[in-house]
Chains A and B, each alone.
Chain A
């Protein structure tokens, strides 16, 4: 089972993302991205295997967060799954270039989120 950090400015969305992951046996922690510092603080404390994050967040831009994770050697093995309502091709490509491990649309539902997350952390004891 994996440790998953859910980052989204909507408490409701954090609940919707956490429920299927926790139901599948993963250890889930949620963080309200009031600032990039706050998210990084929780990252250090929790040391997740996977970060599920929104892209458009008013106080912590998803792209900035992804860059911060990728540039920190402590998080070398952390997988990143971006879950957004936006599906513009340019955005998907840019996130891909930032070495995220997956990009899904919120419209795909909890089933899709769970399937993609489990694919990324598959095989973890």
Chain B
């Protein structure tokens, strides 16, 4: 049991689906309470101070998951909010209020939801100084998410691209791309990646690169995997 004292509110108009999600969370040590519609969920959050996170379905009659989130945020509730959806994320539209994480309903939810919730509750992202980044952005989580996603898109395939350049003998281009990555990672507030990139940069310049590739790749992967779950 990892987090026996943390209560999570699961909101879904399909009781059975809510119970299956709840069982996965309980199996990981969370306590779970269930509501079947948005207004009941709002009342529950207002009345029960032990609730530390909300996992909600998107499509519900009356108040849907996004409307529930927007109302909670308007009321000042800052607790982590995970939206479960059967749709592609693009179906979420362009609303101003974004959930802390979006998960597609599939068989992986029971494996991935508990660790995701623990991470959100810790308020951290592996390999990133999240508090510092948020401070620079006036606590604007939506802007930070946009920046993190842009970083992920830019460097998702970076290890393979860099290695291909290196193996093709184009060290100059490889170093230039690595240098840009190092700068962007540093500006973003990455904790381990800039140093790993700098070590690899020096090793390539000295034509002595080897184990630095693994350290670089694992630092990058850690950050990108964390961003993916946001």
Contacts and interface: CB of A to CB of B under 8 A. Distances in A.
Interface of A: 10, 12-13, 15-17, 19-20, 23-24, 54, 56, 58, 84-85, 105-111, 113-114
A109 B136 contact: yes
Interface of B: 129, 132-133, 135-138, 140, 143, 146-147, 150-151, 154, 176, 179-180, 182-184, 186-189, 194
Contact of A111 (B135, B179, B182): B135
A125 to B, nearest CB: 20
A12 B182 CA distance: 12
Contacts of A13: 180, 183-184, 187
Interface of A: prevailing SS: helix
B136 A110 contact: yes
A58 B182 CA distance: 17
Contacts of A108: 186
Contacts of A109: 129, 132-133, 136, 186-189
Given A110-B187, A111-B132, A16 B147 contact: yes
Nearest to A22: B143
Contacts of B189: 109-111
Contact of A110 (B151, B182, B188): B188
